[in-house]
Structure 1
């Protein structure tokens, strides 16, 4: 009889402890191959290397594209490569003379940290290249410029495979005929992990 009471008391004490341990489990790390569709609002800017504080917007418009990446889970962290491509709608014209951004390509390394069972704060650093096109109504010339790029964002999972992201970033694309070029963006993405 005493053994039964002791056994029931031990079992009764272990059940809440096991339930508490399950509730306090660490956040699940998100990882694996991922593919996403992106929509960003971008602002390519130029600044002179001769004068100070003279930053001008080339324009602001939406860019659309996609990203593919692989996130390897390392405990609460993820790390892995990514590559993205976006086509742009930025154009600035003066009569028949127009300068437009055709596309943007970026590749680099992404690092994330799990903040909940389905949430991830991440940062990206890589190399970005933007293609500019100039036309005077008769002749058209295009050229690519590139440099270091980085971004910060948050990912929220929906179910086992789908996720959404909000992201902001900056790219310093170097000098183009004596002026400095940059790209700023903020946008959203919808993706799927495999």
Structure 2
């Protein structure tokens, strides 16, 4: 009789625990919905292949400020996918002999893919089109031009409660040629956002 009572007691404890563990294994952690965020990134526009193939020169590095809007849709399991668009104002400026070149703005739009690794954290990747605006001035005349190309980024998102989140992100964009000179943009930074 004692063995039967002991077995029943063990079963009553172990079976619900196993069921809970199974539920957790298959729980959907994806955080979806419309989102809006404020961004601060450290950008480094570069030019390449001026003298020889493969050479790269930094135009400078400085902060860029802006925002992003997007929509993440859960597509089963812990995956999300959706469109996004961002806009940032740059502060990079390089001057030589009175001629200055500056990064004015950066626009990017594309598709984001996320993978939730726990209830509050997710890894994500972005792939899209990025466009950089550069401005040149000699103190008298000022000209600006923009060009774009392929862009991608990788990052991590951490949720704070049900709606707020923070992100860290690194990315690269090949924005094509400005007057025959290849230009790229690299960035690393963070964001604070709200998901509805």
What TM-score, normalized to structure 1?
Answer: 0.91
CA contact (8 A) 1:27 1:115 kept: no
User: What is the CA distance between 1:27 and its match in structure 2?
Assistant: 4.7
Moved more, 40-49 or 184-193: 40-49
Partner in structure 1 of residue 165 of structure 2: 163
CA contact (8 A) 1:48 1:179 kept: yes
CA contact (8 A) 1:48 1:178 kept: no
Give the number of aligned pairs.
192
CA–CA distance in 2 between the matches of 1:90 and 1:153?
23
CA–CA distance in 1 between the matches of 2:41 and 2:163?
22
User: What is the CA distance between 1:14 and its match in structure 2?
Assistant: 4.0
Partner in structure 1 of residue 104 of structure 2: 102
Alignment of 1:65-80 (within 5 A): 65-74=66-75, 75-80=77-82
User: What is the CA distance between 1:15 and its match in structure 2?
Assistant: 3.4
CA–CA distance in 2 between the matches of 1:60 and 1:13?
58
Partner in structure 1 of residue 38 of structure 2: 37
CA–CA distance in 2 between the matches of 1:113 and 1:27?
11
CA–CA distance in 2 between the matches of 1:99 and 1:163?
35
CA contact (8 A) 1:175 1:181 kept: yes
Alignment of 1:54-69 (within 5 A): 54-69=55-70
User: What is the CA distance between 1:13 and its match in structure 2?
Assistant: 5.3
Moved more, 153-162 or 18-27: 18-27
State yes or no: 1:17 paired with 2:18.
yes
CA–CA distance in 1 between the matches of 2:27 and 2:43?
37
**Aligned counterpart in structure 2 of residue 132 of structure 1, from 131, 134, 148:** 134
User: What is the CA distance between 1:60 and its match in structure 2?
Assistant: 0.5
Three-state SS of the structure 2 residue aligned to 1:116 is coil
What TM-score, normalized to structure 2?
Answer: 0.90
CA deviation digits over 1:135-167, x for unaligned, max 9?
Answer: 110111111011000000010111100111110
Label 1:20 to 1:54 Cα distance change in 2 as closer, same or farther (>3 A): closer
Three-state SS of the structure 1 residue aligned to 2:117 is strand
CA RMSD of aligned residues (A): 2.2
User: What is the CA distance between 1:33 and its match in structure 2?
Assistant: 0.4
Partner in structure 1 of residue 89 of structure 2: 87
CA–CA distance in 2 between the matches of 1:13 and 1:186?
47
